[in-house]
Structure 1
Amino acid sequence: MADTYNVLFLCTGNSARSVMAESILNRAGKPKFKAFSAGSHPKGTINPGAMTLLQKLNYPTNELRSKNWDEFAADGAPELDFVFTLCDDAAGEVCPIWPGQPMTAHWGFEDPAAATGTDAEIAQKFAEIYGQIERRLEIFVSLPLASLDKLTLQKRLDDIGRDLSEAG
């Protein structure tokens, strides 16, 4: 594997979970990881709840955009080392052929964009899902990638995707 690992996070709409994961990993994993996000049916805009939370936490948001996963299967796309699906819908879809033959895993999260209630309750749901994504990415970043064989690494990636209360 490379000095810098390219990681793609997938969600159907690419407006909340995958964008938060991209932002978290680009901060927490720098310079070892370069994160991207995309969706099978992108919304075209970042969810306001996700954008507000990321800005509140001082993430750079000016380059975030909702994009189709086809961008990462096209000629000239970065070779990917890891691809993670973050929603059950994207996990069940037939994905493109990714350059680089990446390792894949499903890390399911509840969709904060589907939250209902007061503005404060919706913001709390975004913060909750953000925290879950951040915890999984902290585990991922701490893996000794260079010293793990592919089977062991795949098991670790799958374990990260399981319910955190079971993995603890």
Structure 2
Amino acid sequence: MFCAVSPFYPQSKLSAESSVSMLKILFICTHNRCRSILSEAITNHLGQGKLEARSAGSQPVGEVHPLSLKYLQEEGVNTQGLISQSWDEFEDFAPDVVITVCDSAAGEACPLWFGDSVKVHWGLSDPSKLTGDEEHIAQAFRTSINEISQRVHAMLTIKADAQDAVALRQAFNHLGAK
């Protein structure tokens, strides 16, 4: 598990009566070129104005994996503006939830400015690491996109039954469980 989790969560983000509204999510992956990019794009595509996502890396490589863009576009997801960038770029973003999507990023020390953000880890397979025939790689990307899409749809149904980080963290951890 990465970063200490604060027992505090701003009351304005949760309501016992309704789904979470306009939740800001930062997806983290070491290189910010595949899994975190897929997660950002899909969350913004499906988020219905209730989720605002960004992605970053602790050691970004400076370019998005071309197959990430290809398979997002194939699914009708807007890829304009997606870039590989450092988490240092998001100090003013103030995410409500920070989600690591690769195991190496989950083990790294997090910036202090993550502060009271709820922090969870969703281990996702990295389709960009596969070798083999084109169809095998394409299927891996489609599987990742489908898994992320299912989690985003589930995010939209989260009902806050308590106004604290524990309930939100449990809900997000449940979404990431395999």
TM-score (norm 1): 0.88
Matched letter for residue 112 of structure 1: P
1:148 is the counterpart of 2:148: no
1:71 is the counterpart of 2:89: yes
RMSD: 1.5
Measure how far apart 1:99 and its partner are.
5.2
Is the 8 Å Cα contact of residues 72 and 98 (structure 1) preserved in structure 2? Answer: no
Partner Cα separation in structure 2 for residue 148 and residue 30 of structure 1: 23
Partner Cα separation in structure 2 for residue 52 and residue 62 of structure 1: 12
Q: What corresponds to 1:114 in structure 2? A: 129
Q: What corresponds to 2:150 in structure 1? A: 135
Could you report, residue by residue, the CA deviation over 1:6-51 in whole angstroms, capped at 9, with x for unpaired residues? Answer: 1100001111111111111111113111110001111211111111
1:24 is the counterpart of 2:42: yes
2:28 partner SS: strand
Q: Between the two structures, name the one with larger relative contact order (CA 8 Å, sep ≥ 6).
A: 2
1:46 is the counterpart of 2:64: yes
Structure 1: which 4+ aligned runs deviate by more than 3 Å? none
Partner Cα separation in structure 1 for residue 119 and residue 148 of structure 2: 16
Is the 8 Å Cα contact of residues 49 and 122 (structure 1) preserved in structure 2? Answer: no
Measure how far apart 1:148 and its partner are.
3.2
Paired residues in the alignment total 159
Correspondent of 1:11 among 29, 43, 47: 29
For structure 2, list consecutive stretches of 5 or more residues without a partner in the other structure.
Answer: 1-11, 14-20
Is the 8 Å Cα contact of residues 27 and 40 (structure 2) preserved in structure 1? Answer: yes
TM-score (norm 2): 0.83
Percent identity reads 36
The 1:86/1:99 distance shift into structure 2, 3 A limit, reads closer
For structure 1, list consecutive stretches of 5 or more residues without a partner in the other structure.
Answer: 164-168
Structure 1 residues 74-113: aligned runs within 5 Å? 77-98=92-113, 101-113=116-128
